[in-house]
Structure 1
Amino acid sequence: MLPETRPVRLRNYLAYGSNDVLGAGSMAVISGWVLIFYTQFCGLSAGQAATIFAVARILDAVASPMIGYISDHFGSTRLGQRFGRRRFFILAAIPLLPSFALMWLPGQTFWYYLVSYVLFELVYAMEIIPFETLAAEMSSDYKTKAKFAGARILFGQASAILAGFLPLWLITTLGRDSADTFFYMGIIFAALFMLTAGLLYLFSWERHMPGGVPLAPAAPTAGMGQAFKALYRNLFSTMRIRAFRLHLGMYLGGYISQDIFNAAFTFFVIFALTGSMAIASGLLGTMYIVQFVAVIIAINLALRASPSRAYQIAAASFAAGALTLIGLWVLDIPASSPMIWLPIILAGLGRGALNYIPWATYNYMADVDEIVTGQRREGSFAGVMTFVRKATQAAAVAGVGFIMQAGGFVSGAPVQSYDAILTIALLLGIGTVGMLGFGILVSTRFRLSPATHDVLMAEIEHLRGGAQAPTSPEAGRIVEDLSGWRYDQLWGRNPVAR
């Protein structure tokens, strides 16, 4: 493996991690508040709100993998050589990030909200996909990558805390019925996005950049036709890496469960537990504080033990929190009761770890891919991850919207029917726990750990030296389990990414 190009210092961890204010912060705001904003303040039906997500995902199905593929091949261009094949896109996205605030401008039409949402999603992909490659670009060490993931998730949880509490603070200032609450929230977050993206650009680097160890000569710049031709070949080839398929299963189980929970939670607190938007904001903020603590615990577990075991414990805690919330509704206990803190704490502990673990293991997927292909394809994996994250979040939020409308939910109504409330409760309970169960099932087959990663990296060096057989039978079994390919098919002797 390539040696370290530079020492990774605290400022690099902080700059890298701070960019998840955009990555996780924007997603926390959208998943927690956009359905409320569209249906309660903008006059859109739950179905119209869901349609906005669906249209955006169709466009993103092309854009996100395309950006990942282009960034993999951008190093041979003049701009790529000057600014970096990844970092150029981060720099270019900075002046476009205020598009987030435009999403929350009240009193507009369906088409305005559709276009503004799509615009931000494209800018988001332009910045976040190159960002997701940088941990692997800046280091090849397992613990260093885990620290990068930890810094990222800690900042993401801090931004989620802000996403939870900021509406409460703005409601106190502007009044509970003011739609400007969300617009000012959008302005504040857009300013933070620009600041953290700038810090990321200043304190990150790439392997091929001056001062680093050069990679092999860059391939000729792909034209648009070539890019489209190779785009989905690379997209689907990543799915032929066994560890990545299992990683995606755990990721989807942990994150879709949270998307469903977030989309339904505010409605559940307001209509099922007879709370208010201010109470829902305070509960979300408190849950995110607990998640922040849980991330610190999960970092230590992932560095010392099996990520899959930590995942299972976290999923069980989150499921217990969701089911306890349903129990409060069944027992007719309101959101103002002190008993509400039990499910909030249980859910927060589980969610924090579930946020960290998949992103910690993601940083090693390019290493598993390298032993299969002999290539470094961080951009392709980042494109797939971003597309899958945004697509599944949109599907979850849109699905909640469509199901709520089918269940009798009436936009803007201060009181909902029993059927509508029951639908929200079922979404919060069955939807959340069902996805967590799926993630737990997949995690039982995931065997990447600090010990197996060390074996993987040693075998990569072994193959780079021209070897044909594993260093030991046990090492061969480990890399075959991680990769999903026989040892004699590794190092490019297979159809993956050809």
Structure 2
Amino acid sequence: MPTAPSRPVRWYNLAAYGSNDVLGAGSMAVISTWILIFYTSFCGLSAVQATIIFGVARVLDAFTSPMIGHLSDNIGRSWLGRKFGRRRFFILAAIPLLPSFAIMWVAGQGFWYYLVTYVLFEMVYAMEIIPYETLASEMATDYRTKAKFAGARILLGQLSAIGAAFLPGALIARLGPDDPDTYLYMGIIFSALFMAAAGLLYAFSWERQRPKGLDEEEAGDKPTLGAAFKALYRNLFSTLRIRAFRLHLGMYLGGYISQDIYNAAFTYFVIFALAGSTAIVSQLVGVTYIVQFVAVILAINFALRLSPSAAYRMAAISFGLGVAIFLIMYAAGYTATSSLFWLPVVFAGLGRGALNYIPWATYNYMADVDEIVTGRRREGAFAGVMTFVRKMSQALAVILVGQVMQASGFVSKATTQSPSALAGIVGVMGAGTIAMLLFGMFVSTRFRLNPRTHAVLLEEIEHFRAGARTPTTPENAAVVEDLSGWSYDRLWGNNPVANAQK
């Protein structure tokens, strides 16, 4: 069945799409930098309690996200989906709920208040961000346009992360370092930005026109809650049978969990190990995000012209060097006031920016690899499963950081920490971050999706659509077999992955 012609992508479509990462990257930058120090310094929670809140919210979100992805794949058969779009309906519905971000930052409450408010925001976040992650594949078909969407997302996301770093510093300068309302005002400002970005996304995006009768062809009954949970496990196992997606997940987790561990420990590292302050943290993190912005621009060019996997390894080495220099300078007795600390910030920022971009650039092609295996488009399933794996692993990583800190003797609300607590902070930031980077680099050596192989993939998809069942050339067959993990005669629905979706 031929695909419908795509609409032209204008600069304002790219800008509107990218602006939504104010919610994606912006909220996560705020949370990863400030939430643990807010909980332990202004709310009286222990390191274990703070990281448990983070972990529980992530685990619940991990189960919610695949369900939303499944529903967004199937809601097109309903009146709501036909009226507002099967993806864009969720984005529209999330807009009035986004102020839930602000109520997370009310100081002086108890453990259960912070747990409930964090979980609430995570649910709203998933409701908006999962359908959003499918829109690049909906709005574009070719490699370069999808890469532009990924670049717009990460570039504007990095700008929002810069604001997330410097805004607390500006509020601290006005309100003082001990005023917890700093974080509440920050939450209110970002909630307004989230709503505006989601509105722009809805106004200037669209979904791929589905051939007439396809919804009825793919499924008969409307999805139920039970079907959504069943699809969670079915999609989890079926998507992991796509080789390129497995490798993509490994690179994604290596690049992002290394940053989760680094972010969770870095604020404590600066304040306690380097004798710094929240204002210095704001400056260092802000400059890191500025460098990341530059790194994304460089990574876009590398990923378009060269191999994403080679660019990934270069980025991981740069980030790892930044972490190593931080540790060497700490061991040499430098404090946070030293101007030399801008050196590791630059290395870390260059690596982190590229690591943020590359997995999302390659993600936009996963549905294409899946299509040659199943003969279907499952963008929502991949978005949900990717988020499920990410959230579960992120929850475990951050909880582990809290456990190590607590076991090392970390004391909440203390102005100084014991030598053993400092060793725990330094150790988890160094060893944990570098170990995950090495894992991601190893996986990247086996990932071979690039502009050339993606063009071959699309050529073979059209070959299948035309009714052919033999490869155009042996070389093309080898490429799609490497990407998919299946022999050519098992592609286009002739395999258990496709049968599991029926």
The correspondence for 1:216, drawn from 208, 211, 214, is 214
CA contact (8 A) 1:207 1:214 kept: no
Asked if 1:277 is matched to 2:278, the reply is: yes
Matches for 1:309-458 after TM superposition, within 5 Å = 309-458=310-459
1:414–1:478 distance in 2 versus 1, CA, 3 Å: same
What is the Cα deviation at residue 96 of structure 1?
A: 0.3
CA contact (8 A) 2:326 2:341 kept: yes
CA contact (8 A) 2:22 2:193 kept: yes
Q: What is the CA–CA distance in structure 1 between the aligned matches of 2:425 and 2:403, rounded to whole Å?
A: 11
Q: What is the CA–CA distance in structure 1 between the aligned matches of 2:446 and 2:281, rounded to whole Å?
A: 37
Q: What is the CA–CA distance in structure 2 between the aligned matches of 1:407 and 1:214, rounded to whole Å?
A: 62
| Partner SS state of residue 179, structure 2 | coil
Q: What residue is the counterpart of 1:296 in the other structure?
A: 297
| Partner SS state of residue 103, structure 1 | helix
CA contact (8 A) 1:19 1:197 kept: yes
Gaps of at least 5 residues in structure 2 are none
Q: What residue is the counterpart of 1:68 in the other structure?
A: 69
Q: What is the CA–CA distance in structure 2 between the aligned matches of 1:254 and 1:55, rounded to whole Å?
A: 22
Q: What is the CA–CA distance in structure 1 between the aligned matches of 2:287 and 2:394, rounded to whole Å?
A: 22
Q: What is the CA–CA distance in structure 1 between the aligned matches of 2:68 and 2:117, rounded to whole Å?
A: 20
What is the Cα deviation at residue 5 of structure 1?
A: 2.4
| Partner SS state of residue 105, structure 2 | coil
What is the Cα deviation at residue 467 of structure 1?
A: 1.2
1:338–1:138 distance in 2 versus 1, CA, 3 Å: same
CA contact (8 A) 1:253 1:436 kept: yes
Counterpart of 1:249, as a letter, is G
Which deviates further from its counterpart, 321-330 or 218-227?
A: 218-227
What is the Cα deviation at residue 236 of structure 1?
A: 1.6
Counterpart of 1:102, as a letter, is I
Q: What is the CA–CA distance in structure 1 between the aligned matches of 2:365 and 2:212, rounded to whole Å?
A: 20
Q: What is the CA–CA distance in structure 2 between the aligned matches of 1:164 and 1:61, rounded to whole Å?
A: 26
What is the Cα deviation at residue 404 of structure 1?
A: 0.5
Q: What is the CA–CA distance in structure 2 between the aligned matches of 1:280 and 1:185, rounded to whole Å?
A: 16
CA contact (8 A) 2:20 2:153 kept: yes
Q: What is the CA–CA distance in structure 1 between the aligned matches of 2:389 and 2:166, rounded to whole Å?
A: 28
What is the Cα deviation at residue 496 of structure 1?
A: 0.5
| Partner SS state of residue 140, structure 1 | coil
**1:94-121 per-position Cα deviation (integer Å, ceiling 9, x unaligned):** 0000000111111111000000000000
Q: What is the CA–CA distance in structure 1 between the aligned matches of 2:4 and 2:317, rounded to whole Å?
A: 40
Q: What residue is the counterpart of 2:249 in the other structure?
A: 248
Q: What is the CA–CA distance in structure 2 between the aligned matches of 1:397 and 1:105, rounded to whole Å?
A: 22
Counterpart of 2:175, as a letter, is L
Q: What is the CA–CA distance in structure 1 between the aligned matches of 2:5 and 2:12, rounded to whole Å?
A: 17
Asked if 1:112 is matched to 2:110, the reply is: no
Which deviates further from its counterpart, 226-235 or 485-494?
A: 226-235
Q: What residue is the counterpart of 2:478 in the other structure?
A: 477
Q: What is the CA–CA distance in structure 1 between the aligned matches of 2:472 and 2:56, rounded to whole Å?
A: 50
Q: What residue is the counterpart of 1:172 in the other structure?
A: 173
**Normalized against structure 2, the TM-score is what?**
0.97
Matches for 1:82-97 after TM superposition, within 5 Å = 82-97=83-98
**1:57-101 per-position Cα deviation (integer Å, ceiling 9, x unaligned):** 332232111000011000010010000000000000000000001
CA contact (8 A) 2:289 2:349 kept: yes
What is the Cα deviation at residue 214 of structure 1?
A: 5.2
What is the Cα deviation at residue 385 of structure 1?
A: 1.9
Which deviates further from its counterpart, 152-161 or 49-58?
A: 49-58
Counterpart of 2:434, as a letter, is V
Q: What is the CA–CA distance in structure 1 between the aligned matches of 2:26 and 2:175, rounded to whole Å?
A: 22
CA contact (8 A) 1:64 1:386 kept: yes
What is the Cα deviation at residue 35 of structure 1?
A: 0.6
CA contact (8 A) 2:371 2:377 kept: yes
Q: What is the CA–CA distance in structure 2 between the aligned matches of 1:393 and 1:155, rounded to whole Å?
A: 23
What is the Cα deviation at residue 221 of structure 1?
A: 1.4
Q: What is the CA–CA distance in structure 1 between the aligned matches of 2:267 and 2:60, rounded to whole Å?
A: 28
**1:419-440 per-position Cα deviation (integer Å, ceiling 9, x unaligned):** 1011111111111111000000
What is the Cα deviation at residue 215 of structure 1?
A: 7.1
**1:35-75 per-position Cα deviation (integer Å, ceiling 9, x unaligned):** 10000110000111121123223322321110000110000
What is the Cα deviation at residue 403 of structure 1?
A: 1.1
Counterpart of 2:349, as a letter, is G
CA contact (8 A) 2:56 2:395 kept: no
| Partner SS state of residue 491, structure 1 | coil
CA contact (8 A) 1:13 1:151 kept: yes
| Partner SS state of residue 215, structure 2 | coil
Q: What residue is the counterpart of 1:234 in the other structure?
A: 235
**Normalized against structure 1, the TM-score is what?**
0.98
CA contact (8 A) 1:100 1:186 kept: yes
What is the Cα deviation at residue 232 of structure 1?
A: 1.1
Q: What is the CA–CA distance in structure 2 between the aligned matches of 1:214 and 1:107, rounded to whole Å?
A: 56
Q: What is the CA–CA distance in structure 1 between the aligned matches of 2:200 and 2:390, rounded to whole Å?
A: 24
Q: What is the CA–CA distance in structure 1 between the aligned matches of 2:139 and 2:5, rounded to whole Å?
A: 7
Q: What residue is the counterpart of 1:58 in the other structure?
A: 59
Q: What is the CA–CA distance in structure 2 between the aligned matches of 1:398 and 1:487, rounded to whole Å?
A: 43
Gaps of at least 5 residues in structure 1 are none
